Amino acid sequence: MSNIDINNKYTKYFIPPNIQEAKKRGKQAVQIIDFEPIPEEMANIGKGKYYLIRTYGCQMNSHDSETMAGILEHMGYQPTDEENVADIILFNTCAVRENAEDKVFGELGRLKHLKLEKPHIILGVAGCMPQEEKVVNKILQSYQHVDLIFGTHNIHRLPILLRDALFNKEMVVEVWSKEGDIIENMPKVRQDGLKAWVNIMYGCDKFCTYCIVPYTRGKERSRRPEDIIAEVRELARQGYKEVTLLGQNVNAYGNDLDIDYGFADLLDDLRKIDIPRIRFTTSHPKDFDDRLIEVLANRGNLMEHIHLPFQSGNTDILKKMARKYTREEYLELVKKIKKAIPDVVLTTDIIVGFPGETEEQFQDTLSLVKEVGFDSAYTFIYSPREGTPAASMKDDIPEDVKKERLQRLMDLQNQISRKKNEQLRNQVVEVLVEGISKTNSEVLSGRTRGNKLVNFKGDPSLIGQFVQVKIIEPQTWTLKGELVSTQEELLDVAN
Ligand code: 5AD
Ligand code: SF4
């Protein structure tokens, strides 16, 4: 039980998270469980009612939100974007950095008046933040207008938890800290009919010293290859054009299976499915083996984009981060990848201001960025996460130094991104048209095989098609182009 004195209401089903428990990695086999049918009394509970899910963080979270939406729609709820209309508002949260958490607390505070005005609204907090004890305690103490808290291992329990929240009038908290099972066949409402996320594994066993994910997401659990293959086949049958395979560390796929089958084997099987584009994220350099490079070099429906976080360019910092590779090993891996796939698009994640990082060590990060020439990078200032090993390391770098390093890194990366995009000037690229540009309704936007965003003038009927676009004006983050030919025109020529 929580160690704080809660005068406040909370349900008898209260299960608090426990970070010590979360560290344990059980030896027992992962259970694969089918999603249970929605209890009868909940099957139509949402008829005529609306839900709103606000999602923070990574693609894994976005995909979890699609599952929550699927479960809610199975109970009859309909989606809305308006808080005033919603009967349920769920925050699917991220715990990776503190500022993401602050935003959620801000939003919860802001919604207090809405809850007072409309007490029937169910306000829920889900995802990674509830996996932290201190977050649950803070909500119990200071955000008593919240009705429901559940963790990353409890999504399939949403119908039961919602029932308790609706009928018990008590705060319902259920956050399992155990490693978690794999729940198959959960309902999902995918964001669009073109691109789909597909989980291939859950959790992470890497325990990078700064990272909270191995605690919030549990141990590595791979889905069975046949379940993944069946899901991708079904998506292809439904007309999806692209799948992105998701895992915190996709290269560790299969390590926990009792068959000799890894990520390269999975990709080799999936590429035979008639789906135009396959992507994956995120890769860990340690497990990126030669066989995987060999399979990716087949191209076809395997896109030549690899997101390969390096975090720091200095071997001593990498050691303190427990990344399990050196600067030289990372560079060697990049060399191998570039040799096999010369036009590969490489993107990365970088942390600046890790505890004790000196100016010289930061310079190693800058020089690695230059040496590799990433197409783009997500850059972060180190954020201490309670319960992780790095949080107790001495951190004496002043905040303004960290900010200044981040700025220098971003300036450098922007120059490189611009240069990389410049290489595409006047080239004709294949674009999957995804929709209308956010900034100009006459402009369509889509992505290249390398995942670069392209904007060009075209008819909205092209959405969902592959077209050829000539790049006219490369910019730092996007490419402006001109339509050259559509899928149909290409087919006409072929005939
Ligand atoms: N502080 C800053 N950035 C972090 N990341 C993970 N944990 C932290 C942290 N504590 C970054 C890493 C990771 C990305 C998803 O988030 O770069 O690759
Ligand atoms: Fe976090 Fe490292 Fe696992 Fe990525 S590989 S989720 S950074 S612990």
Q: Determine the pLDDT at residue 301.
A: 98
* Statement: residue 352 has pLDDT above 70: yes
Q: Where are the beta strands (DSSP E) in 167-241?
A: 172-174, 182-184, 195-199, 201-202, 221-222
Counting atoms of ligand 2 from 1, which one is nearest the CA of 284? Answer: 5
Q: What kind of architecture, by CATH, is found in domain 428-494?
A: Beta Barrel (2.40)
- As for ligand 2, residues whose beta carbon falls within 6 Å of it are 204, 206-208, 211, 213-214, 248-249, 284
Amino acid type, 436:
I
Counting atoms of ligand 2 from 1, which one is nearest the CA of 323? Answer: 2
* Statement: residue 10 has pLDDT above 60: no
- As for ligand 1, residues whose beta carbon falls within 6 Å of it are 96-97, 210-211, 309, 311, 349, 351, 380, 382-383, 385
Using the mean position of ligand 2's atoms as its centre, give its distance from the Cα of residue 73 in Å: 32
Confidence class for position 495, pLDDT limits 50, 70, 90:
low
Residues 6 or more apart from 388 whose CB is under 8 A from it? 209, 210, 211, 212, 215
* Percentage of the chain lying above the pLDDT 70 cut: 93
Q: 439-471 pLDDT, tens per residue?
A: 888 999 999 999 999 999 999 999 999 999 999
Using the mean position of ligand 1's atoms as its centre, give its distance from the Cα of residue 420 in Å: 25
Can you tell me the distance from the alpha carbon of 217 to that of 64, in angstroms, rounded to the nearest whole number? 12
Topology at the third CATH level for domain 182-421: pyruvate-formate lyase- activating enzyme (3.80.30)
Q: Determine the pLDDT at residue 164.
A: 92
In the DSSP assignment, the letter for residue 178 is S
* Statement: residue 25 has pLDDT above 60: yes
Q: What is the mean pLDDT of residues 36-45?
A: 90
* Statement: residue 9 has pLDDT above 90: no
* Statement: residue 131 has pLDDT above 70: yes
Q: 401-444 pLDDT, tens per residue?
A: 999 999 999 999 999 999 999 999 999 999 999 999 888 889 99
Q: Determine the pLDDT at residue 96.
A: 95
Using the mean position of ligand 1's atoms as its centre, give its distance from the Cα of residue 254 in Å: 24
Domain ranges of the chain: 9-174, 182-421, 428-494
Q: Among candidates 257, 186, 241, which has minimal Cα distance to 30?
A: 257
* Statement: residue 47 has pLDDT above 90: yes
* Statement: residue 322 has pLDDT above 60: yes
Q: Determine the pLDDT at residue 439.
A: 84
Counting atoms of ligand 1 from 1, which one is nearest the CA of 378? Answer: 17
Amino acid type, 351:
I
Can you tell me the distance from the alpha carbon of 399 to that of 300, in angstroms, rounded to the nearest whole number? 46
Using the mean position of ligand 1's atoms as its centre, give its distance from the Cα of residue 104 in Å: 18
Q: Determine the pLDDT at residue 299.
A: 96
Q: Determine the pLDDT at residue 4.
A: 34
Q: Would you tell me how many other CB atoms lie within 10 Å of the CB of residue 461? A: 10
Q: What is the mean pLDDT of residues 463-480?
A: 97
Q: 48-106 pLDDT, tens per residue?
A: 999 999 999 999 999 999 999 999 999 999 999 999 999 999 999 999 999 999 999 99
Is the pTM higher than 0.85? The answer reads yes
Average pLDDT, the chain: 92
Which CATH superfamily groups domain 9-174? Answer: Methylthiotransferase, N-terminal domain (3.40.50.12160)
Residue bearing the CA closest to ligand 1, atom 18: 349
Q: 251-266 pLDDT, tens per residue?
A: 999 999 999 999 999 9
Q: Determine the pLDDT at residue 7.
A: 36
Ligand 2: which of 96, 250, 284, 318 to mutate, judged by most atoms within 8 Å of the beta carbon?
A: 284
Residues 6 or more apart from 284 whose CB is under 8 A from it? 206, 249, 251, 252, 309
* Statement: residue 21 has pLDDT above 70: no
Q: 210-258 pLDDT, tens per residue?
A: 999 999 998 899 999 999 999 999 999 999 999 999 999 999 999 999 9
Q: 361-374 pLDDT, tens per residue?
A: 999 999 999 999 99
Q: Among candidates 281, 275, 285, which has minimal Cα distance to 231?
A: 275
